[in-house]
Amino acid sequence: MNGNNGLPILPGATLGVLGGGQLGRMFVHAAQRMGYFTAVLDPDADSPAGRVSHHHIHTDYADVDGLARLAGLADAVTTEFENVPAPSLENLSVARPVAPDAGAIAIAQDRIAEKAHFTRCGVACAPYAVIETAAQLAAAPDVLLPGILKTARLGYDGKGQQRVSTRAELVDAWQAVGCVPCVLEKLLPLEFECSVIVARGRDGQLVHFPPQRNLHRDGILAVTEVHPQNMPKTVAQAAINSAKSIATGLDYVGVLCVEFFALADGSLVVNEMAPRPHNSGHYTMEACDVSQFELQVRTLAGLPLAAPRQHSPAIMLNLLGDLWFTAGGDKPVAPRWSEVLALPGVHLHLYGKIEPRRGRKMGHLTLTGATLESVRATASQAATVLGLPALSAADLA
């Protein structure tokens, strides 16, 4: 994305972001490190990104006056989450370059549109049916059961999803979500989950990080492991090719994460995409020579995209608010950070969220080292110290 008659937006300018969560905070830090000023629009007065930005516009994402203020401050605008109103991005794009654009965000907000886009790009999805009406519910093929009913909108971190084994369970699940538009996906025999992060510029230049192998617990990403042996090379290349095709098919500008299911038969199906940096890419801040957040800055500012290189094997452990309540009480207690930080190759990131809550993403640990074995050993030690579930051999590649 370019501004000023096609010229890059250089350091010293101001970059804006809709959304003040941890992804916005890390984007702000990356932009500031490169010499940019930053502006955040978020309705939370204590938002993690707003608290560290040069400017914080404290208002709703659809507030016309707030959007006008952001456009007046920022030379270009991005977003840190996909559920920002697409019309707000469209509004901003009249006055300022916006990346990713409203069209890409709108597709990512709707599983039905998203799956249609994957199909247009020639990327395989799990077998599914669209359920928007009672007639479509009744006509859903039996072969899709057992399956997962997912709401078409506002589903993330396992929210808006329910497993169903019978038609009676399917009917009950659809009624439980208020008969809103959904997709019914067939349950498939998974070998593992993985993701690929790509960055694409307005000129079509496209770079990518190595595929990440991911472990989810209760629908929330728990562990990411990245190294050359984390999955078969054929699966890794298929994931890279598919992510590139999805980004190109959108004429996408920005950082895009595409999540996949690797099946027991060696094939790969796409799960969903996130039009932004992603939890599974946090390791790039320590293990690569350019992070996903720096690439977000570069795509927004129209700067060249250097192909990232990973220089260390890495494991990322997600830190949820549950860790503050390990004693079983209601009063939060700080985890044992000193013991964790005494371990070699540990990088602690806390997101600046004031109140820990169970299930809330509070931070992450990245573990790096000279060898995969040493990184795995340190990750297991860190998990033990913090009271995280033990990392079994099945959890790791």
Which residues does the annotation place in the binding site? 111, 150, 155-161, 185-188, 193, 216, 271-272
Beta-strand pair 37-41/14-18: parallel
Residue numbering of the annotated binding site for ATP: 111, 150, 155-161, 185-188, 193, 216, 271-272
Q: Which amino acid is at 232?
A: P
